[in-house]
A and B are shown apart, each in its own frame.
Chain A
Amino acid sequence: MPALKKVIIVDPILCTGCLECELVCSVAKTGVANPANSRIKITKIKDEGVFLPIVCQHCEKAPCELVCPTRARTRDPKTGAIVLDQDSCIGCKICLTACPFGATQLSIEGDVIQCDLCGGDPKCVQYCKPRPENSSTFMSNPRASALQFVEPTEATVTKRMIQINRLKIK
C-alpha cells in the first residue's frame, strides 16, 4: 500500500501558464498573492509556449525525508503527504539538493517550503480551470484541467483515460 492517499498529476499540454495555481497557493499559505512563495511552480519556456507545472510528488521513498538531518519531515497520517515541521528545520537546504524535481524550494524569506497538499484538498487543483473539450487537434483533450488530484493507483488510469480520449476525439 502506498503511503500517499491521493496524488497531484500534471498534464502539461493543458497548462496555459496563467499562474492561478501559484497565486492561490501563495494566498492560501501566506495571505499574500506572490508566485515567488508558491509551493507549486510553473516552469515556462516563453518563446515556445511550453508550460510545465512542478509540484512535490510526495515520493514513497522521499529523498528529502531521507537526507533531512533533523528529521523535520514526516508523513501526514491523514493524506500521506510529506510535511515539513518548520520548527525542526535548520535551513541546511540539503533537501533542495536531494529533490529530483526542484519541488522543494526556498521562500523569499529564506525558509524551506514545500507542498503539503493543503491537508487533502489542494487549492491549486481546485482553481486550475479545465480547458474546453478538444481545444485543438494537437491537444485533442477531454474537458479537463492540467492539474488533477487522484488516488495513486488511479493516476495511471486517469493518464490512460486522457490519452484514450485524445484518440477518440481525433
Chain B
Amino acid sequence: MYGKILRVDLTKGKITKEPIPKEWQKKYIGGEGINDRLLWEHFLKIDPKIDPLSPDSVLICGLGPLGATGVLGAGSKVKWTFKSPAYNCFGDSVGGGFFGCQMRWAGYDYIVVTGKAKKPVYIRIHNEDVEILDAGKLWGKSIQEADTMIKEQFGSSEIETAGIGQAGENLVSFANIIMSRERAAGRTGGGCVMGSKNLKAIAARGTKGIKIFDPESFFEVTKEAHRRMDNSFYWQAFAKDGTMVLVRPYQLSGGLAWKNHQYTTLPDDVFGKIDSKFFLENFKTTDAACSAGCGCACSHWWRIKGDESPASAKFAGERGEKPELVTNCACMVWGNEDLAVVCHFQNVWNRYGVDVVEMGQCIGFLMELYQRGIVTEKDMEEWTGEPLPLNWGDYEVAEKITDAVALKQNALYDILGGGVYKAAEKIEKLKGVPVLKYCQFGGKKSPFIEDQRTRGSWTTLMATSTRGADHLKALSVMEQGQLIDVANKYLGGPEAVEKGIPYMKGIMAAWEEDRTTAMNALGLCIFNTATFSYTGPDVDLVSRAYKAVTGSEAEDFFVVGERIYNIEKAFNSRLGLTRKDDSLCERWEKEPIPKGCPGEGTNMGKYLDLMLDEYYEYRGWDRENGLQTRAKLEELGLKDIAQVLEKEGVVGLKKPKAKSKVLQESRRNAQAFKAKLSKKA
C-alpha cells in the first residue's frame, strides 16, 4: 500500500502531509515516476529556468511502492529528483541505504523540500512526528560524523540519515547526498541542492510499516524471484564480487577509461592488480546488503592489512564499505594502479560527499593537461600554493585536489567546483589554448568514467539520458551481455545485440531506458532485478509483486516507464534543450578507438546521428529537433504536458510513426547492413 507525501517548507518552517493522488499511483506507479510528476507540478508554479540553487528550487525524495517491503528480494532504491546544479537540466539521483526504508516505514513515500532555512537545520522524522531542528553543531562535519551525532542524540541506532558532507555545504555543483553513511545518491548534484537549502540531513525512523495487500502472493512471488536468482549467472557474479565484477568484461570489450579515456583498456599488468579477483582475495571481509530486502547483497566490507599492494602500507588498518565499479573506474581515469587506493578514495569521496565520477574526471582531465604541458607546476602553485606535479596515478595529489575542491580551500575550487566541462571552459580562457577536446562528456555536457565507443546502445544512451551521461538511466544489459533471447523477444530479432551494426541500437537504448525507469519507479534495484527479470517473463513476475503489495492491477511497465521518461524529457525541453544537447564529446564521437584496444580503429560514435534518428522515431519524437510530439504525449496520457510544451513552443511537429513500423524498418536496414559487411569481408 502507498504512504503519504510529506512537504517541508524550510523558509516558513511549515510541515504538511497529503495523500498521493490515486491517478498518480496508476499512471506513474511511484518512485521516479511520482518524483517526476511532483517536480513537474512544482515548476508549473515556478519558472523552470531559475537557478537550481534558488530557494524556489525543490528537492524531492521518493521510494516506490515495492521498496522497503522485501518483496521479490530485490532491494530498495531511493530516487532524489531536482533541477541539477551540475548540468542545469533535469537532475535525479538514485541510491541504496536504509534511509528510504525508514522513511516508508514511517508512512511517507515522498518528501518534498522547498524554501531555504535561515541557518543550518536538519529534518527529523519519527512516524507522525516531523520536526525541523538546528544543525549548527553538525555543520562542517562529514556525513558519517553527523550521522553518529544524530544517532547519539536520540539514543537510537535504528535512525537512518540522508545528508551532505562538506562538499554539499560548500556548494560543489556535483556534491552527493549520502544515505546510511555509505550509500551515495550520485551524479547531478543533489547534495549541492540540499546544501543550498541549508539542510544538513534528513533523519528518519519508522515503526508503522507497510501494509501488504495479499501476503500469500507476496511470499509466492518472492519465492519465485529467489528461485530465478539461484539459477542466474548474474546473481552469482554480483553477489560475490558486486559491481566490480564488471571490470573484467569491460577490460575485454574496451569499456574502461584509462588515463582520461586515452585508452579503453588497462595495461595487462595493471588489470591483474585492480580487478574484482584481487579485491576478493586481498581486501574483502564480508558481504553486505545496501538496502532492505536485497537477496543479492552486492556490497562488501573491506579492510586493508598493509601488505597487499604498494600503497597498502600507507592505508593500513583502514576499512569501509565496498568500492564500486564506478569508484574503481573513476580512479582509472587518473591512472591509478592500486586497489588499496580505490578503497581509500571510496572513503574520502563519501566522507566529503562528492560525486566520484565528476571528481575522478576532474583529476584525470588535469593530469592529461599536465601530460600535454598545458597545465604546469607553476599553474598548480598559483592555484593551490604548492607546485604539485600532476603525474598519472599520483594518489597524494589526487587527494589534495579532492580536499581543495570539497573543502573550498583554494582557487582549484573555483576551477573544478562546477564540474569538468566548466573547468575546461575556464582553463581554456585562462590559458588561451583549446583544451575542450581533452574533456570527455556526453549529453548535457556531463562526463562519464566508462568508454562506450564499442557499444551502440550505450553510445546512444550517453547522449540521450535526461540527466546526462551515465549508465543508471538505462542499464543496457541486453547489449553488454549479448542477450539474444531478450532481443528476439522484445525487439523482434537478434540484430539489436550484434556488434558493429548501428541499426536497432537507438531503439534498444529507448527500450532499456523504459525498462530501467519502470524498475526505478517501483523502488527496486536495477542490478538486482536484472538477475531475474531478464531471464523469464519478467513483466509478469513484477506485475504480480505489484498486485500483491498494493492490491491494484499494474499497467504495462514499459508504457509506464516511457510515460515517466517523457516527463523528464518535457522538463528538459522547457529549459530549451533540443537534439543538439543529446551529443557526445569529440573523442567519443569522432576519435577511433586507440591501437591495441578492442575494436581498434572503429567507433560507434560516428553513427550517432543515425542512432539518434532511430531513437527519436521509436520514441515518437520529432527527429529534426529531438522534441516530443503532441500525438505521442497524448497517446501516453500526458495531454496536460503537451499543452504546456505547445504554449512554450517546444514541441515537435512531425507526425510520429508506429513503433512496430520503426522496428521493422530498422531490422530491415540492419540485415542489409550486415549483408553488406559480410560481402565486404
Seen from chain A, the residues whose Cβ lies within 8 Å of a Cβ on chain B are 13-14, 16-20, 23-24, 26-28, 30-37, 44, 46-49, 51, 108, 123, 126-127, 129, 131-132, 135-139
- Which candidate, B135-143, B218-226, B352-360, B373-381, is the interface stretch facing chain A? B218-226
Tell me the nearest residue of chain B to A137, going by C-beta. B281
12 further A-B pairs in the complex, CB-CB below 8 A; given A33-B212, A127-B222, A129-B229: A16-B294, A27-B212, A27-B219, A33-B70, A108-B207, A127-B223, A129-B295, A132-B240, A135-B287, A136-B300, A137-B280, A139-B286
With the chains together, A75 CA to B215 CA distance in Å? 27
With the chains together, A47 CA to B616 CA distance in Å? 47
A30 contacts across to B, CB distance below 8 A:
209
B427 interfacial by beta-carbon distance below 8 Å: no
A46 contacts across to B, CB distance below 8 A:
157, 180-181
B239 interfacial by beta-carbon distance below 8 Å: yes
A123 contacts across to B, CB distance below 8 A:
219
Shortest CB distance B40–A (Å): 30
B14 interfacial by beta-carbon distance below 8 Å: no
Given contacts A16-B297, A129-B297, contact A34 B210 (CB under 8 A): yes
Q: 9 closest Cβ contacts across the A-B interface?
A: A34-B209, A23-B70, A18-B289, A49-B301, A16-B297, A36-B207, A129-B295, A32-B209, A136-B284
B301–A33 contact, CB under 8 A? Answer: no
B284–A138 contact, CB under 8 A? Answer: yes
Shortest CB distance B215–A (Å): 5
A contacts with B: majority SS: mixed
B284–A129 contact, CB under 8 A? Answer: no
For chain B, which range describes its interface: under 10, 10 to 19, 20 to 34, or 35 or more residues? 35 or more
B226–A16 contact, CB under 8 A? Answer: no
Shortest CB distance B182–A (Å): 9
A14 contacts across to B, CB distance below 8 A:
287
Within 8 A of A (CB), among B218-250: 218-219, 222-223, 226, 229, 236, 239-240
B286–A13 contact, CB under 8 A? Answer: yes
Shortest CB distance A169–B (Å): 12
Which listed residue (B144, B212, B284, B293) contacts A32, Cβ 8 A?
B212
Shortest CB distance A99–B (Å): 20
Given contacts A26-B209, A49-B286, A138-B284, contact A33 B295 (CB under 8 A): no
B105 interfacial by beta-carbon distance below 8 Å: yes
B226–A127 contact, CB under 8 A? Answer: yes
A24 contacts across to B, CB distance below 8 A:
70, 219, 222
A20–B286 contact, CB under 8 A? Answer: no
B208 interfacial by beta-carbon distance below 8 Å: yes
Which listed residue (B284, B288, B293, B300) contacts A20, Cβ 8 A?
B293
Task: Mark contacts of B274-291 with chain A using CB atoms, 8 A cut-off: 1 yes-contact digit, 0 otherwise.
Answer: 000000110011111101
B105 contacts across to A, CB distance below 8 A:
33-36
Tell me the nearest residue of chain B to A132, going by C-beta. B240
Tell me the nearest residue of chain A to B70, going by C-beta. A23
B293–A19 contact, CB under 8 A? Answer: yes
| Subset of 13 A-B contacts with CB under 8 Å | A16-B286, A16-B294, A20-B293, A20-B295, A28-B215, A31-B212, A33-B70, A33-B210, A37-B209, A47-B148, A51-B288, A132-B239, A135-B286
With the chains together, A72 CA to B88 CA distance in Å? 64
A23–B293 contact, CB under 8 A? Answer: yes
Shortest CB distance A151–B (Å): 24
